[in-house]
Structure 1
Amino acid sequence: MEHQQTNFFVRGPSPLARLTFFAAVSLVLMVVDARLHYLGEVRQGFATLLHPLEIIATSPVRLYRSIQDHFTTVESLNQETQVLRDKTARLAVDLQRLPSLQAENDHLRQLLEARQAMQQPARMAEILHVSRDPFAQRIIVNLGSQQGVLAGQAAVDGAGVIGQVTRAYPFSSEITLITDRELAVPVQVERNGLRAIAFGHGRDNMLDLPYLPVNVDIHEGDKLVTSGIDGTYPVGLAVAIVKKVERNVDSPFAHIICVPTAGTDRHRQVLILTTMPSAAIPLDEPHPLPKKKESRHHAPR
């Protein structure tokens, strides 16, 4: 009498069939999100649900910083106090000259019929973490749409421009740094007012000024500031310092490398300028400037 053998393992679809199915689903979702933006609300919901997990994940870092600040020695505090006293004394001397300089500045503005500069409102945000993607220069801060942060607002620090808010979640925001390849900043040379557009390398902490002629009036050490023509960044904010200018007779364009003046690796806080540009920038899209084309000159790796 033959006995029927029992299968201990029930086999489902083959690994190749599973791979094909999930790859097709992924492609469909990417096309739908890129064309119709149907997944924007889903992304917002996931960001809200994952916010408590982000708080839990970053709690060890905050605890470590609290313990580190708690065990700061009295000697280091005394040294810092002495340095601050010396700095305060020097600033007090400079402050005595401020009323006369301000009066002279107001007089010159009246002569030139220029309007008074308005102070840019801003919010202070703290950096939660940095993107782990080596090809994306982005950071996440602890202010979101619930605190009035919107996509398209500029982010700065005490040294200059850091980047631009590209995604605003309910309780956090994503800031794309000016060193990212997808972001461009209109700048001008402070020395002579020459205008250009700075692009990030994406792979290092450098900026590039492409498509400028070989005989352009730019030298090493020139300071680049925002030109304000895009309506996002106020005029005159520091952006970068020209580090290297290469002029090749075989190319009609100069190869200009710049170092940003600001940096998120130096501080934990940034300022988000709360004034929106004249044209609203759609969510999940970087600043709408023309993308940089591939150039024959590349920075050495």
Structure 2
Amino acid sequence: MPLGTLDRTPPPFFKQGPSAFTRLLVFSALAFFLMVADTRLRLTQPLRAVIATVLHPVQRVLLAPVEAVQVANEYLQGVHRAREKEEAAQRQLIAQADRLARLELLERENQRLRSLLELRPAVKSATQAAEVLYDAPDPYTRKVIIDRGATHGVARGSPVIDEHGVLGQVTRVYPLTSEVTLLTDKDAVIPVLNARTLIRGLAYGDPANEGLELRFMATNADVQEGDLLSTSGVDGIYPPGVAVAKVHKVDRRADSAFAKITLKPVASMASARQVLVVRPVSEQLPPRPSAETEAADGGGAGRRKGGPKP
């Protein structure tokens, strides 16, 4: 094969263009020119605007997962904060509800105490305030337990009243507590006086009707529905003039000489809390003079009447 026919050009791998230094100079000068032109003439500003406009949807698509994660994180944090605020609001609401309940209870107690203070001047007897603790455990009686006993000076037979009227009578006294038999008990009896007609009578407890019954009143007795009955004071226990009950119903039966008169107590038998324990009237009366004193007074009166002895 003749040597002239051989291809003497080097392969592409061995071809060399401008030198590296030349390329550095060219690209450095181009970069410097573009920087100067962009600074002075702002030639690349429209190009940047076009590129930014074209790439904006791509940026939004790429930012969507990041924004979704941020929104989800903010949502979870917001839910957590909302739950914490809800729990705090519930605790505050419970505290306010408890405070409101105690406030309402105190307001009711204040009203009862004010009523008792208004009733106190009408009761011309020594009194002391007490509170009803609980009902007696016997289901066949109408009795309550108060927080005053023998150590507080409570005596057996002491009347007990609330802001409306007579509640009952102390029947048992313990060192720190006392048992009060309500007027609606089957064994309770209280002498009463009709405030309208001034007729006296006896009111007996009627537990079946949660009230009282005015017994042994004649059929033609002047008793009307709505009449107010108060204590008569003749028994030496209850002070006179304290409200007891109102006439609820009068049944004048032809087959009986006595009328059946049903009474409704004015005191709060089932809901009384603050009460007054009244000292029995008989214990506040002055002591009766002894026989020797009466004889001496009688002899002195006789001597004064007959004149001096010779």
TM-score range, shorter chain: 0.5 to 0.7
1:71 to 85, 98, 101: 98
- Corresponding letter in the other structure for 2:189: A
Where in structure 2 are there 5+ consecutive unaligned residues?
1-93, 115-121, 286-310
| Distance in 1, Cα, partners of 2:225 & 2:152 | 41
Deviation at 1:72, TM superposition (A): 3.0
Q: Which residue of 2 aligns with 1:149?
A: 154
- Corresponding letter in the other structure for 1:248: R
1:140 to 138, 145, 167: 145
Q: Which residue of 1 aligns with 2:136?
A: 131
Deviation at 1:268, TM superposition (A): 1.1
- Corresponding letter in the other structure for 1:174: E
Cα separation, partners in 2 of 1:279 and 1:241, compared to 1, 3 Å = same
Deviation at 1:248, TM superposition (A): 1.1
User: RMSD between aligned alpha carbons?
Assistant: 3.0
User: Contact (CA 8 Å) 1:134, 1:203: kept in 2 or not?
Assistant: no
Cα separation, partners in 2 of 1:68 and 1:155, compared to 1, 3 Å = farther
Q: Which residue of 1 aligns with 2:258?
A: 253
2:206 to 197, 201, 206: 201
1:210 to 215, 218, 221: 215
The within-5 A match list for 1:236-247 is 236-247=241-252
SS of the residue 1:71 aligns to: helix
User: Contact (CA 8 Å) 1:152, 1:277: kept in 2 or not?
Assistant: no
Where in structure 1 are there 5+ consecutive unaligned residues?
1-66, 89-116, 281-301
- Corresponding letter in the other structure for 2:198: G
After superposition, what is the alpha-carbon deviation per residue over 1:81-129, rounded to whole angstroms, capped at 9, x for unaligned? xxx9xxx9xxxxxxxxxxxxxxxxxxxxxxxxxxxx8732211111111
| Distance in 2, Cα, partners of 1:275 & 1:211 | 26
User: Contact (CA 8 Å) 1:161, 1:262: kept in 2 or not?
Assistant: yes
Q: Check if 1:171 corresponds to 2:176.
A: yes
| Distance in 1, Cα, partners of 2:269 & 2:236 | 23
Q: Which residue of 1 aligns with 2:278?
A: 273
Identical amino acids, percent of aligned pairs? 39
User: Contact (CA 8 Å) 2:243, 2:266: kept in 1 or not?
Assistant: yes
1:230 to 231, 235, 243: 235
Cα separation, partners in 2 of 1:68 and 1:232, compared to 1, 3 Å = farther
Deviation at 1:277, TM superposition (A): 2.4
User: Contact (CA 8 Å) 2:237, 2:282: kept in 1 or not?
Assistant: yes
- Using structure 1 for the length normalisation, give the TM-score: 0.54
- Whose Rg is larger? 2
1:181 to 168, 186, 190: 186
SS of the residue 1:244 aligns to: strand
- Corresponding letter in the other structure for 2:163: G
- Corresponding letter in the other structure for 1:187: V
| Distance in 2, Cα, partners of 1:140 & 1:242 | 28
| Distance in 1, Cα, partners of 2:135 & 2:95 | 21
User: Contact (CA 8 Å) 2:246, 2:266: kept in 1 or not?
Assistant: yes
Q: Which has the higher helix share?
A: 2
Deviation at 1:227, TM superposition (A): 0.3
- Corresponding letter in the other structure for 1:196: G
Deviation at 1:134, TM superposition (A): 2.6
After superposition, what is the alpha-carbon deviation per residue over 1:42-81, rounded to whole angstroms, capped at 9, x for unaligned? xxxxxxxxxxxxxxxxxxxxxxxxx99982339x87xx7x
After superposition, what is the alpha-carbon deviation per residue over 1:108-163, rounded to whole angstroms, capped at 9, x for unaligned? xxxxxxxxx87322111111110232321100011100000010111001100001
Cα separation, partners in 2 of 1:274 and 1:68, compared to 1, 3 Å = farther
| Distance in 2, Cα, partners of 1:133 & 1:198 | 23
Q: Which residue of 1 aligns with 2:80?
A: none
- Using structure 2 for the length normalisation, give the TM-score: 0.53
After superposition, what is the alpha-carbon deviation per residue over 1:169-200, rounded to whole angstroms, capped at 9, x for unaligned? 00100001111111210001000100000000
**What is the aligned length?**
179
